[in-house]
Amino acid sequence: MDWNATRPGEVEGGAPDRADAALTFIGRIRTPFRDRADCPHRGAADGPLCRIEVDEPWRPALHGIEPGMRLEVLYWMHLARRDLLVQAPKGRPAPLGTFALRSPNRPNPIASSEVDVAGVEAGAVLVRGLDCVDGTPLVDLKPARR
Amino acid sequence: MDWNATRPGEVEGGAPDRADAALTFIGRIRTPFRDRADCPHRGAADGPLCRIEVDEPWRPALHGIEPGMRLEVLYWMHLARRDLLVQAPKGRPAPLGTFALRSPNRPNPIASSEVDVAGVEAGAVLVRGLDCVDGTPLVDLKPARR
């Protein structure tokens, strides 16, 4: 399957050509999903255990994260396209604008997921409920909105 | 007030010095909040009307956004510090790690808020529930998780 093929009804354009701000990846996410074909369509609270690894410089910032907390995780969908304005996902009756979809393909491919903390280790947080490929770059962690 | 002062109990470090990925700002957010002192601590569903302006190249990606939808908005907190690992916000009994807080100060200062769509115009979405300074750069829009 060609994940990067443009489908009928899809519109390309708006591809970013400016670096307005720089992200620093602060770690990576270990999941059992080896490639995109393995990934669930969306995460589930009873999904497999995933390990959010935080690189050494940022580990002190984990202080206060405890099992049972609900976390919001931002991550960089490094395999996504950034040039799709209108998309035609399978199972949708008509194409929709990228901003009306949660597709990984978007101008700034940042995903946000909410997960339950199952455990905390030195430099890592164990969670359930993620949907991304093993090795996905980590952008941010914060408590979920109440 | 010096918004950038480091308070007792806070820990600096981990400041990003790599550009692992580039963001392109796709628009900006117009709010009645002229500076940080004006901003509410958090957005409210009955807050003032704010206008999310999308730049021309990305406007086709708004197709399908309708009044009444709940949107997730990602934006870049351009006034924030990126070098705080442990923070001592007012009203908290003890310092906490940055990843256990929703403070704007974080290694990658991306905020996520959920808002109700009050109206849609050509190239803009009107919403309530944002908390950011007028002119804040827009990173992404997507339907809120159900």
Q: What is the pLDDT of residues A88-99, one digit of tens each?
A: 988 889 999 999
Average pLDDT over every residue of B95-115: 96
Range scoring the smallest mean pLDDT among A11-25, A90-104, B83-97: A11-25
Label residue A137 by pLDDT band (50, 70, 90): very high
Is residue A134, in this structure, part of any structural domain at all? Answer: yes
Is residue B83, in this structure, part of any structural domain at all? Answer: no
Is residue B42, in this structure, part of any structural domain at all? Answer: yes
Q: Among A24, A117, A131, A141, which would you mutate to test the B interface (most chain B Cβ atoms within 10 Å of its Cβ)?
A: A24
The domain total for chain A is: 1
pLDDT in tens, B52-88: 999 999 999 999 999 999 999 999 999 999 999 999 9
CATH code, domain carrying A64: 2.40.30.70
Percent of chain B past pLDDT 90, that is, above it, reads 74
ipTM over 0.90: yes
Its pTM stands at: 0.94
Question: How far is B93 from chain A, CA to nearest CA, in Å?
Answer: 12
| Cβ contacts from A onto B, under 8 A | 185
Q: Report whether pLDDT(A58) > 90.
A: yes
Is residue A7, in this structure, part of any structural domain at all? Answer: no
| pLDDT for res B35 | 84
Is residue A33, in this structure, part of any structural domain at all? Answer: yes
Is residue B128, in this structure, part of any structural domain at all? Answer: yes
Average pLDDT over every residue of B110-138: 94
Average pLDDT over every residue of A56-84: 96
Which residue's structure tokens are 């701000």? A21
Q: How many residues does chain A have?
A: 146
Is residue A14, in this structure, part of any structural domain at all? Answer: no
Between CA B105 and CA B99, with CA B5 as vertex, the angle to 5 degrees is 25
Q: Among A23, A59, A113, A138, which would you mutate to test the B interface (most chain B Cβ atoms within 10 Å of its Cβ)?
A: A23
Is residue B11, in this structure, part of any structural domain at all? Answer: no
Question: How far is B65 from chain A, CA to nearest CA, in Å?
Answer: 6
**Does the beta-carbon distance from B108 to A26 stay under 8 Å?**
yes
Label residue B1 by pLDDT band (50, 70, 90): low
3-state SS, one letter per residue, for chain A: CCCCCCCCCCEECCCCCCCCEEECCCEEEECCCCCHHHCCCCCCCCCCEEEEEECHHHHHHHCCCCCCCEEEEEEECCCCCCCEEEECCCCCCCCEEHHHCCCCCCCCCEEEEEEEEEEEECCEEEEECCCCCCCEEEEEEEECCC
Containing structural domain, residue A126: 24-78+105-143
